[in-house]
């Protein structure tokens, strides 16, 4: 039971007359709700609610964000501190200090703590990209996975074992891993992770899995692992979406498809861009960049109320779908705490200002926050 629920109810008739686009919010008959509970309490019986945390928060320097983690969420994911180039920059050197602090944050606050990510073609150290020998790469892979998973055994609840291994057509992405180890590198990674910590949940994580071709690529990957008796517990569906795409039907199809394989679904990196989509932008590949353009940065100071409402409607529709499939979903994680710290600022266009999360730049809950809470009240 959620304790001490206090809700300030404000009818929307005046607001609807002004903005003319709030029919979905009107169903709630509320505008602002200030609670003495957090998202983790609201959705306690449905799924975990998490947030990605950056180095500033982990170190304690971002005290406002840290306070929100403690009050709002029951799961955390590390934005960068556990990625290969930062935690394992040289073959014989591991930098555990920041990752250890991240783990301590999870333990202190009794959070479901994710490890992100063991194998990824991006943000890799130079020595990994310069390797030209399959035996050497296999040793690097084994050392990296075994060292990390063993060190955090029992404290990391789930690992993103392999991240973004597929192209948009569902084929395997060209990478140093595929080049020298072939398709078996994915099998190797999951086997090594399971051996190091049999109790951890093991996840394959990727973006654009609402698209049929890429989704079926993951289905083939999962079936190959399962046919070989290799443990995989869940698929992480990154939710780097916008106000119109993907459709709810496409999201729902992904949930159902992966659940039919006997897997749980984790929405691992949720944020909703309110800005125009740059030309030729595909998914969440961080290597993409575009020239600065005023059309692509329409809200450099703030967003109009009509866009706030559109974002609230979008989040409410998505969470209504999540609740429909609560039995299939283990976790919903927002990729960041507030708009100020979102990776979507300055990407894929330098200087761009985005507003994709539930908390604004001053760490106040937005209308989008109220819209999803209203689904449970």
Q: What is the pLDDT of residues 298-324, one digit of tens each?
A: 888 899 999 999 999 999 999 999 999
317 to 74, 92, 192: CA distances (angstroms): 22, 48, 39
Among 244, 348, 228, which Cα is nearest to 290's? 348
- What is the per-residue pLDDT for 286? 47
Pairwise CA distance, residues 244 & 249, whole Å: 12
Query: Token pair for residue 45?
Result: 């019986």
Tell me if residue 48 falls in helix, strand or coil. strand
One of 97, 252, 269, 292 is an active-site residue; which one?
269
Angle at 62 between CA 57 and CA 67, to 5 degrees: 85
Return the number of other C-beta atoms located less than 10 Å from residue 274's C-beta: 19
Q: How would you label 189-209 residue by residue, b for 16+ Cβ within 10 Å and e otherwise?
A: bbbbbbebbeebbbbbbbbbb
CATH C-level class of 39-275+293-376: alpha beta
Q: DSSP letter at 33?
A: -
Q: What is the pLDDT of residues 45-90, one digit of tens each?
A: 999 999 999 999 999 999 999 999 999 999 999 999 999 999 999 9
Identify whether 269 is a catalytic site residue.
yes
User: To the nearest whole number, what is the mean pLDDT of the chain?
Assistant: 89
Query: Token pair for residue 227?
Result: 């046919």
Tell me if residue 242 falls in helix, strand or coil. strand
pLDDT band at 23 (very low <50, low <70, confident <90, very high): very low
Output the DSSP codes for 328-368.
TEEEEEESSSBGGG-TTTTSSBTT-----SSB-TTS-B-HH
Q: What is the pLDDT of residues 93-152, one digit of tens each?
A: 999 999 999 999 999 999 999 999 999 999 999 999 999 999 999 999 999 999 999 999
pTM above 0.95, yes or no: no
- What is the per-residue pLDDT for 292? 57
């Amino acid at each position: 039971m959620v304790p001490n629920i206090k809700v300030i109810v404000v009818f929307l008739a005046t607001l609807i007359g002004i903005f003319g686009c709030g029919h979905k919010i009107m169903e709630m008959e509320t505008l602002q709700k200030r609670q003495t509970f957090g998202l983790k309490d609201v959705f306690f019986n449905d799924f975990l609610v998490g947030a990605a945390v950056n180095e500033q928060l982990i170190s304690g320097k971002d005290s406002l964000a840290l306070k929100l983690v403690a009050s709002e969420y029951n799961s955390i994911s590390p934005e960068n501190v556990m990625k290969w180039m930062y935690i394992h920059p040289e073959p014989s050197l591991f930098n555990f200090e920041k990752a250890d602090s991240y783990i301590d944050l999870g333990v202190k606050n009794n959070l479901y703590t994710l490890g992100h990510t063991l194998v990824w073609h991006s943000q890799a150290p130079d020595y990994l990209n310069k390797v030209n020998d399959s035996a050497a790469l296999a040793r690097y892979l084994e050392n990296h996975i075994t060292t990390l998973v063993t060190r955090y055994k029992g404290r990391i609840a789930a690992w993103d074992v392999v991240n973004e291994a597929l192209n948009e057509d569902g084929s395997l992405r060209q990478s140093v891993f595929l080049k020298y180890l072939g398709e078996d590198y994915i099998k190797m990674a999951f086997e090594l992770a399971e051996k190091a910590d049999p109790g951890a949940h093991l996840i394959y994580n990727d973006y654009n899995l609402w698209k049929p071709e890429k989704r079926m690529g993951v289905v083939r990957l999962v079936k190959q692992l399962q046919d070989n008796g290799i443990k995989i517990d869940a698929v992480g569906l990154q939710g780097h979406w916008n106000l119109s795409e993907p459709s709810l039907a496409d999201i729902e199809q992904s949930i159902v498809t992966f659940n039919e394989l006997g897997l749980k679904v984790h929405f691992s990196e949720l944020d909703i861009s309110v800005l125009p989509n740059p030309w030729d932008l595909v998914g969440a590949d961080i290597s993409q960049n575009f020239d600065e353009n005023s059309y692509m940065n329409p809200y450099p100071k703030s967003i109009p109320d009509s866009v706030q409402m559109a974002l609230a409607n979008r989040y409410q529709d998505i969470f209504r779908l999540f609740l429909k499939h609560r039995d299939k979903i283990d976790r919903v994680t927002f990729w960041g705490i507030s708009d100020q710290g979102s990776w979507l600022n300055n990407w894929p266009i330098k200087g761009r200002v985005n507003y994709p999360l539930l908390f604004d730049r001053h760490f106040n809950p937005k209308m989008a926050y109220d819209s999803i809470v209203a689904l449970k009240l």
